[in-house]
Structure 1
Amino acid sequence: MANKDIVIIGAGYAGVHAAKKLAKKFKKDDSVSITLIDRHSYHTMMTELHEVAAHRVEPDAIQFDLRKLFNRTKVNLVTDNVTKVDHDSKVVVTENGKFNYDHLILGMGGEPNDFGTPGVGEHAFTLWSWEDAVKLREHIEKTVAKAATVHDDATRQAMLTFAICGSGFTGIELAGEMIEWRERLAKNNKIDPEDITLYVIEAAPTILNMLERKDADKAEAYMLKKGVKILKDSPIVEVKEKEVLLKSGETIPTHTLAWTAGVKANSDTEDYGMETARAGRLKVNAYMESEEYDNVYVIGDLAYYEEEPGKPTPQIVEAAEQTGTTAAKNIIAEIKGEEKVAYEGKYHGVMVSLGARYGVADVMGMHLSGWFANFVKHMVNLYYFFGIGSGYYMFKYVEHEFFHTKDKRNIFRGFLTRYGNVLWSVPLRIYVGCFWLVEGGAKLWGYERWEEATSSLSNIGQLFRGIGEDSWFVSSTIQMDFDWLQDATSAATEDAGEWATPILSEMPGWFEWIMQIMMPTPEMALFMQRMMVILEIAVGLALIAGLFTWLANVASIGFLAMFTLTAMLGWDKVWPIPASIALMNGSGRTFGLDYWVVPYIQQKAGRWWYGKERAIYRDK
C-alpha cells in the first residue's frame, strides 16, 4: 500500500478525537502518517472557560498540553498558523512550512459572532479561548480593585456593573460563576457584594432556548433570586467604552461587557475556496466530506450538515466528538477500501451549570436541577477523558474541581478541598511508623525475645543476642492458624504470639478461598510470612522517614484489613486504620523525604512517559 499522509488542522474537541481514532487504528502501520496542526501547543477544555474567567479554577486547569495527550502515539504535532490550503496540489501551507496530504481534516472550530454590532470588537470581551478567559478575569479583578477607591458614585457603579450579552451555555454559565465570585471580589477589595451588579442581556423573548422551558425557568428563577438583572427582548445596538446601548433606547453604564451572543465559522476558512452555509460553516455530506473536494473532511463547529431539513448538526461538544470520529472512520475506510459510514448524531442531553453549586440539565429525558445537575456534568466531563485516553488529565480535573477550589466553590461545598497545613500530622505519621516497626520487630526477633528486650531500657541489648526461635522470619513454623495448613502447624501454633480477642471470630468463606489460592502449601505460607515481616518494617521506616507516605499508608490499611479478615486482628490494633487514612494527605511533604523525592520522580517519570512540554512543537 502506498504511503498515506493525513493532516488534521485544529486541536479542538473534534480534531483531538479524530487524531486519537486514527492513531489507534494505524498504530503499527508505518505507511500512514498523521500530522496535527494547531496554532497552540495545547488543547483547551472550552466548556469550562467560564470557570477560569470567574476565578473558580486556575488557568492551567483547562489547558491540556498536546504532547501529554499524544506522546507515545504516531501523531506528529505542529504548532503553527495555517495560511492556505492548496486543494489542487494537496498541500497545507503554514507560516513556517508546507505539509502534503492525501486526506485532510478541517477542524478549526468557530469564533464569536458579533452580527455586525458596532463597538463589539473594540470594547467588548469575548469568551471563546483560553486567552479570552484569562484576559476577562484579569480585567474584572483590576476593574473592581480600581472601583473600590473611586469617590464618584456614578463612575464607581458603572465600573462595578458587569453585563453579559447572550443567554446560551457560555453566557449563563459565566453569570452563574460571577454570582459566586462576587463575594470574594467584594471581600478582597473591602466593598459590599451588593455594590456589584450583574446583567444578562438577551435579544430573544426567552433565555436558555436550548433547554425545555421548565428547566430554563428554574435557571432564570435562580439567577433572579441571586440578584441578577435579566433583560429579555433587548438587542444591543452599540457597545461603547463605558456603556451599552439597547434597541429600546435604554443605556446601561458599564466598563465590562462579555459578548457570548453567537458563534460563526472560523474566518480562516474564508480563503479555502469551499462552499459555505449559515454563519460561514462549510457544507459537508453525510460522511463529513466536503461537497467539492475529494479526501477533504470538515468536523466540529465548522461542519454544516443537515441531519433533518433546516436542522444542522448542533455546535456542541458531543456533535464535535462524533463528527470527528465519523471523519476518522471514513478515512480509515478509504485507505482500507471499505465502505464508509454516514454520520448519525446521538445526543444525550444538555447541562448548564450556574456556578459550582447549582445547575440544570436534561439528560436522556431526565430533568435535573441543583446539586444533581452539576454532579452529572462532572461525570460527563470525566467520561470525556476516557474518550481522549488521558488518565493524567482526568486526575488533574478531579484535583482542580474538588480538592483545590476556594470559597466552597465545588459541589461538595469545600468539604473535600485540601489546602490545610500537614505539619500537624507529622507526629501521627511517626507514631504509626513506630507501630509498624514494633509489629515487624516482634515478628522478626520473635515475641519472647522482643518482649524481654523491650520490657525495660536496660534490656534492649537482648536484641543483639540474635533472633529467637519463634521468629516469623527464620522459623520453619507457620504462625498463621489456617485450617488448610493445620497439619503443618499444629505443633507450632501454641508457640505463636498471643493475640487479642479477634474482631472476627472466623475468616469469611470468600476470603478463605482467596487465601488458599495465595498460600496453597506450607512452603508458600512460609514465604508469605517472611515477606510480611519485611514489608511491615519497610512501611514503618517509610512512614518515619516520610518517604512514599501515600503508598505506605495504603499498605498499612491493606495489611490491617487483611489481618482483620483472617480473624487475626484484635480491637486493640484497629486505630492505625483511620490514622493511615488521615495520613494520606501528603504528610510526607513536611519534614519528610517526600518533599524532595516525589517532585523529582514526578518530573522524571512525567518527561519519560509524556515527553517534555513545549510552547512550539515541530514534529516531523
Structure 2
Amino acid sequence: MAKKNIVVVGAGFAGVFAAKHLAKGLKKNDDYQIILVDRHSYFTYMTELHEVATKRVEPKHIQYDLQHLFGRRKNVSLVTADVTKIDKENKTISTTAGEISFEKLVLTVGGESNDFGTPGVKEFGHEMWSMEQALDLRHHIEAIVAEGAGSLDPKVREAKLTFAVVGSGFTGVELMGELIEQRKVLAQANKLREDEIKLVLLEAAPTILNMLDRQGADKALAYMKKKGVDVRLNAKVTEVRESEVVFADGTTLPTESLVWTAGVKAKETSSKWGLETGKGGRFQADDHMRAVGEKDIYLAGDSTTYQEPARKDQPGAGFIPQTVEGAESAVNTLVPNIVAEVNGNEGTKIFKGVYQGYAVSIGTHYTVATLYEKYRMAGFFANIMKHIINLRFFIQIYSAYHIFHYMMNEFFRTPNERTMFYGWTSRLGNVLWSVPLRIFYGAMWLVDVWYKLPGHTDDWFSKDLRLQTFTWLQKATETSGASAGGADAAAATAAPVADPTFTLSYTFGKTPMPIFDHLPKWYEAVTKVMIPNEATALLMQKVMTVVELLLALAILAGLFTWLASAVTIGLVVVFSLSGMFYWTNMWMPFAALAIMNGSGRAFGLDYWAVPWLQKHLGKWWYRGYEASTYNQLAK
C-alpha cells in the first residue's frame, strides 16, 4: 500500500521545525511519510547571514545539510527542487523534479526583500535575504574597500569607502554591528585609518528598532553612535544610483555600497498559487494556521500573515512577527492539528503566539535584549541570551551535533577577536587548549626553583656548592693510609647503590637515569673556561636560581611566553649536558614547544604585551629607517 504524503515546502526555520515535529508526531503511523521540498540541499540559518556577509564566519557555519539533519528520521524524504505550481483540486504540487501528491500540504516558503519599488535598488544596491546575496555582499565589501584605498580621487574614494544600510530593523542593525567590527580588519588590511571607512544607517522613521521598547532601542542607538556610525533618522531613500543615494528632500549621500534591509514581502512566485493573501502579499492564515478557505493546506514562516485578536494593540498590530519564534508558534499550532486529523480526529488547536523575547546583537561584543516583554538587559549577559536563543532552535529540532558545531564556530573558530570573549577562546587567535599545559609547565619550574631559595635545605644562595657534577670544583681532600682504611671500611658496610634505570615515566623505588652520566669532553672544556673556580660557581648558582624563578613566573602569567619557553629548552640542554637532567623529564622541552604557539595570548599577558611591542618596536625600527633614508636623500 502506497504511503500518503504530508508535503512541507521550504526548508527554512519553519520548514525544518515542522518536518522534525511531524516526523516525531507520526513515527508510529506507518501510513504517512513526510516529504520536505526545497531548492537547496541545505538549511540556511537565516538570522546569521550578516555574519557571513561581513566575513565573521564561513558560509558552512550557517549551512546545515538536510541529509544530516534528517538522517535518523526514517519517515522523512528529501526532494531538492523548485515548486512551480499547486493543484488544490487534485492535491498535487508540480516541481522541477516531478509531480508530488499530498494529503496535507505545509507552505513555509519564506519571503524576500521588499524595496517598495524604489528605483535603482535592484541595479545598484545589495540585499541580504539568501546565502547567494550574503556571499555577493561579502565579496563586494572586500573588493570595494581595496578599490577605495587605491583611489587618488577624493570623491571616488569617499563613495567607495562609505557603506550605507537602509532599514533599522533586526537585520539592518545586526549588519551594522558586524560592519563596525569588520571595519577594523578592513582598515588594517588596506593600510587605512578606521575613520576613513564611513558607516551610515538610514531609517525613514523617526526611531530605530521599532519592535523593541524605547529603552533598549535607545541603548542600541547610543552604542552605534559611540562606535562612529552616522545614524540618520527620517531619511527616506527615493532612489539609488551607481555612486550615490538620493533622499526625499533632494540631498544625496555618496556611496557605492548600499544594503537594503528595509522590508520583507512574500515571494512573487508563490503569489501565483491561488491562495488568499494579506499584509505584505503573504498567505493569509486562519486560527488553526490553515490557508484561509483551505482544509488541507497549512502555513508558517515569513510567507504567512495572521493577526492575533488579543494582540491588536501591541507593536506590529499583533501580526505574527517575521522571527524564528513567530515561525515556531505557527508550527506548534499546525503540527498538532495535522497529527490529529491524520489519526482520525479533529484538529482543534488555536494559534497563540509565544514570544519569550528579542535579542539584537550589534556586533559580537554588544547586545540589547528584552525577555518576556518586561526584563531588559544590554551588554555581556544580553549576548549570552542571544546565543541561548540561537541554540534553542537546535534543541527543539533535536540536533546535538549542530549545537556542538554552533559553539565551535561562534567561540572557537572565529578570527580577529570577533567573539563575545574578544578572541580569548578562538583557536584562530590563540591556542586556548594549551593554557592548562602552560600553567602546569610554569608550576613545574616554580616548584623546582622554590627549594633553591633561601630558607630551604637545598639553598642555592648558601656557601655550599651544588654543582656536584663539575668535579674540578670539588675541594681536594688529603688522603692517608688511615683515612683510606676508614673509607674502605665504611664502603664495605654501606648498602649498595642501585644502578640508575632508563625510563620515561616515574618508576617507584628506581633511581632515574640522567641523560648524560658524565660531562662530554668538549662541554667540560667549555665549562671550565666559563666556571673556572668555586667563587664563580657560587655566583652562577645564584644567577641561575633567579633566572629560573623569573622564567617560572613569566610562563605562569603568559608574559613573553615564546621567549621564556625557548630559554627553558636551552636550560634543559645545559642541564642534560651537565648530568643534572633525567630521562623521566624529557617531556619538558616538548611541552615548551607546544606552549610557544601563542598560548600566552590565551588568558595571558601576551594578549596585550606582544601587540604593544609589535606596534612600538615597529615604529621605532621603521622611523629610524625613514629618517636615515630622508637624510641620505637630503644629501
TM over 0.5: yes
State the Cα distance separating 1:408 from its structure 2 match: 1.4
Q: Following superposition of structure 1 onto structure 2, how do residues 29-48 of structure 1 map, counting pairs within 5 Å?
A: 29-48=29-48
Displacement after TM superposition at 1:50 (Å): 1.0
Q: Shift in Å at residue 307 of structure 1?
A: 0.5
Label 1:232 to 1:423 Cα distance change in 2 as closer, same or farther (>3 A): closer
Contact 1:17 1:325 in 2 (8 A): no
Change (3 A) 1:220 1:4: same
Q: Distance in 1 between matches of 2:58 and 2:35?
A: 30
Give the letter for the 2:6 counterpart.
I
Distance 1:219 1:424 in 2: 35
- Residue 383, structure 1, aligned to residue 392, structure 2: yes
Q: What CA deviation, in whole Å up to 9, does each residue of 1:120-146 have, x standing for no partner?
A: 111110011111111101100000011
CA contact (8 A) 1:167 1:201 kept: yes
Using the TM superposition, give the Cα deviation of residue 38 of structure 1 relative to its aligned residue in structure 2, in angstroms: 0.4
Pick closer, same or farther for the CA change 1:190–1:92 going to 2, 3 Å: same
1:595-614 matched pairs, under 5 angstroms: none
- Work out which of the residue numbers 310, 315, 324 in structure 2 matches 1:317: 324
Within 5 Å, give how 1:161-200 maps onto structure 2: 161-200=162-201
Per the TM alignment, residue 423 of structure 1 is displaced from its structure 2 partner at its CA by 13
Question: What is the root-mean-square deviation in Å for CA atoms of aligned residues?
Answer: 2.9
Tell me how far 1:2 sits from its aligned partner: 8.5
Instruction: Name the counterpart of 2:401.
Output: 392
Q: 1:41 to 1:220 in 2, by over 3 A?
A: same
Q: Give the distance between the partners of 1:388 and 1:168, measured in 2 at CA.
A: 27
Question: Do the aligned partners of residues 21 and 454 (structure 1) sit closer, same or farther apart at CA in structure 2, a change above 3 Å counting?
Answer: same
Larger radius of gyration: 2
Q: CA deviation at 1:224?
A: 0.9
Distance of 1:424 and 1:164 partners within structure 2: 39
Matching residue within 407, 411, 418 for 2:420:
411
Give the structure 1 partner of residue 335 of structure 2: 328
Report the counterpart of residue 262 of structure 1 in structure 2.
Answer: 263
- Residue-by-residue CA offset, 1:189-220 (whole Å, 9 max, x unaligned): 11111100111111111111011111111111
Could you tell me which runs of 5 or more consecutive residues in structure 2 were left unpaired when the two chains were aligned: 445-505, 516-586, 600-635
Displacement of 1:27 in angstroms is 2.1
Structure 2 SS opposite 1:252:
strand
What's the CA shift for 1:338? 2.5
Partner of 1:70: 70
Structure 1 residues 424 and 37, CA gap change in structure 2 (3 angstroms):
closer
Partner SS, residue 301 of structure 1? coil
Q: Tell me the equivalent position of 2:370.
A: 362
State the shift of 1:30 in Å: 2.2
**Matching residue of 1:160:** 161
| 3-state DSSP of counterpart to 1:276 | coil
**Partner SS for 2:78:** strand
Contact kept in structure 2, 1:120 and 1:239, CA below 8 Å: yes
Deviates more, 1:24-33 or 1:112-121: 24-33
Q: Distance in 1 between matches of 2:307 and 2:275?
A: 17
The 2-side partners of 1:296 and 1:154 are apart by 55
Determine if the alignment matches structure 1 residue 113 to structure 2 residue 114. yes
Match of 1:509 in 2: none
Q: CA deviation at 1:3?
A: 3.9
Local SS of the residue matching 1:419: coil
Between the aligned partners of 1:189 and 1:352, the Cα distance in structure 2 is: 30
Tell me, in whole angstroms, the C-alpha distance in 2 between the residues paired with 1:417 and 1:8.
38
State the match for 2:206 in structure 1. Answer: 205
Aligned residues: 451
1:359 & 1:424 partners in 2: Cα distance? Answer: 28
How far did residue 420 of structure 1 move?
A: 6.3
Contact conserved, 2:416 with 2:429, CA < 8 A, in 1? no
C-alpha displacement of 1:385 = 1.0
Unaligned runs of 5+ in 1: 436-448, 459-574, 588-620
Q: Would the aligned equivalents of 2:204 and 2:237 in 1 still touch at CA under 8 Å?
A: yes
Change in 2 beyond 3 A, CA 1:348/1:456? closer
Partners of 1:313 and 1:368 lie apart in 2 by 24
- 1:417-496 matches, within 5 Å, as 417-419=426-428, 451=508
Q: Percent identity?
A: 49
1:222-263, Cα deviation, whole Å (9 max, x unpaired)? 111111111111111111111110001111110010000000
- Change in 2 beyond 3 A, CA 1:252/1:421: closer
Partner of 1:136: 137
Q: Secondary structure at the match of 2:302?
A: helix
Question: Matches of 1:103 and 1:292 in 2, distance apart?
Answer: 14
Check conservation: 1:14, 1:322, Cα contact below 8 A: no
Q: State the Cα deviation string for residues 441-461 of structure 1 (Å, max 9, x = none).
A: xxxxxxxx9546655699xxx
Question: TM-score under structure 2 normalisation?
Answer: 0.67
Structure 2 CA distance, aligned partners of 1:112 and 1:420? Answer: 36
Separation in structure 2 between the aligned mates of residue 278 and residue 451 of structure 1, nearest angstrom = 80
The answer on whether the counterparts of 2:415 and 2:429 sit within 8 Å (CA) in structure 1 is no
Q: Which position in structure 2 is the counterpart of 1:56?
A: 56
One-letter amino acid matched to 1:250: T
> Which runs of at least 4 in structure 1 moved beyond 3 Å after TM superposition?
420-426, 449-458
Match of 2:382 in 1: 373
Q: Secondary structure at the match of 2:14?
A: helix
> Which of 342, 353, 357 is 1:349 aligned to?
357
